[in-house]
């Protein structure tokens, strides 16, 4: 009899827990914070979520996208922790660049343990691009010009020295036998500004992410010299050569995803995790992701938390090799 009572109580407790989980309704107001100015990868990440949530009927009202530029995510990271830690409806976009900056202590007193890592929805790849009328037709030609006179080429990107966009070109420069610290590098606040500067001929090269280039390639104004993937990307990007096939053994994937404030409840976190699991399995989401030049990389919950923390550790070691971290 006692065993039966204990079993009944245990079953009842599980049922109540399950009901509590299902009882968490969707947030009435939702916001995606893109930690940069419009036009870059964070903007793309938030817009992908905004459209996909609406198409899949997971929200009653459209998600709002707001922009909070500063430090490749540092301003947004500090704001969500210090000022808005318990907002159920607010997610913040992050990328591999955010994790690289975290690894170097660029987010102030906060660390990788201070937010709730929620979901990854795709991966991107680093790339190097020039204007369509640039004299550089290949990555080799560009690096040969820099080797001849490193001051003859101005590289721009949407982040500061030590960022992932700087790191990509620093790896290329070092691979050519040059000192990356002597590279002429201009930092902009977001990938959109860097592309605008390139189109305006204020810089000669832009280092960024492939997805940021997709909207511009159709217009024929830019030429991507190399994508930093292990092998060529599928159509419509199949024609773009990799850095590896041009003699530069550099691969740079860029995870894209979201985190929540540290005081969002476990039940609210679970609602978002369930929503992302449904979202990324849908054909509508896959279509939207593909249109933005992102590639499949779906991860949520504890698996993502472990992945992010390992990435920060790995990035820290890489930054140390450039004297950028202790």
- Read off the pLDDT of residues 64-92 as tens digits, 9 standing for 90 and up: 999 999 877 899 999 999 999 999 999 99
* Residue 106: partners with Cβ closer than 8 Å, 6 or more residues away: 71, 72, 74, 162
Domains of the chain, start order = 31-124+254-321 (3.40.190.150), 125-252 (3.40.190.10)
At 131-180, the pLDDT tens digits run 999 999 999 999 999 999 999 999 999 878 888 889 999 999 999 999 99
Other CB atoms within 10 A of residue 58 CB: 19
DSSP letter (8 states) at residue 233: P
In angstroms, the Cα distances linking 148 to 131, 144, 176, 177 are: 21, 6, 11, 11
Query: Do strands 299-300 and 116-131 pair parallel, antiparallel, or not at all (unpaired)?
Result: antiparallel
At 225-273, the pLDDT tens digits run 999 999 999 888 899 999 999 999 999 998 999 999 999 999 999 999 9
Q: What is the pTM of this model?
A: 0.77
């Amino acid at each position: 009899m006692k065993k039966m009572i204990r079993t009944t109580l245990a079953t009842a407790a599980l049922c109540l827990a399950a009901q509590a989980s299902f009882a968490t309704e969707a947030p009435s107001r939702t916001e995606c914070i893109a930690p940069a100015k419009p036009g870059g990868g964070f903007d793309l990440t938030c817009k992908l979520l905004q459209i996909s949530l609406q198409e899949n009927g997971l929200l009653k009202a459209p998600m709002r996208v707001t922009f909070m530029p500063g430090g490749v995510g540092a301003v947004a990271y500090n704001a969500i922790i210090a000022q808005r830690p318990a907002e159920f409806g607010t997610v913040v976009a992050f990328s591999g660049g955010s994790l690289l900056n975290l690894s170097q202590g660029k987010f102030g007193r906060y660390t990788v343990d201070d937010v709730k890592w929620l979901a990854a929805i795709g991966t991107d790849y680093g790339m190097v691009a020039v204007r369509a009328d640039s004299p550089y037709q290949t990555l080799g030609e560009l690096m040969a010009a820099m080797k001849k006179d490193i001051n003859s080429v101005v590289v721009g990107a949407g982040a500061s020295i030590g960022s992932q966009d700087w790191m990509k070109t620093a790896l290329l420069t070092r691979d050519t036998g040059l000192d990356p610290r002597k590279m002429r590098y201009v930092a902009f606040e977001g990938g959109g500004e860097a592309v605008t500067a390139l189109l305006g001929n204020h810089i000669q090269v832009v280092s960024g992410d492939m997805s940021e280039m997709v909207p511009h390639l159709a217009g024929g104004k830019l030429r991507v010299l190399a994508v930093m993937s292990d092998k060529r990307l599928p159509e419509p990007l199949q024609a773009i050569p990799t850095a590896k096939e041009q003699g530069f053994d550099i691969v740079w994937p860029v995870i894209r995803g979201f985190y929540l404030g540290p005081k969002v409840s476990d039940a609210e976190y679970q609602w978002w995790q369930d929503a992302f699991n449904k979202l990324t399995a849908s054909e509508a989401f896959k279509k939207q992701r593909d249109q933005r030049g992102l590639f499949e990389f779906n991860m949520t919950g504890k698996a993502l938390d472990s992945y992010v923390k390992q990435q920060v550790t790995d990035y820290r070691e890489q930054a140390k090799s450039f004297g950028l971290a202790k």
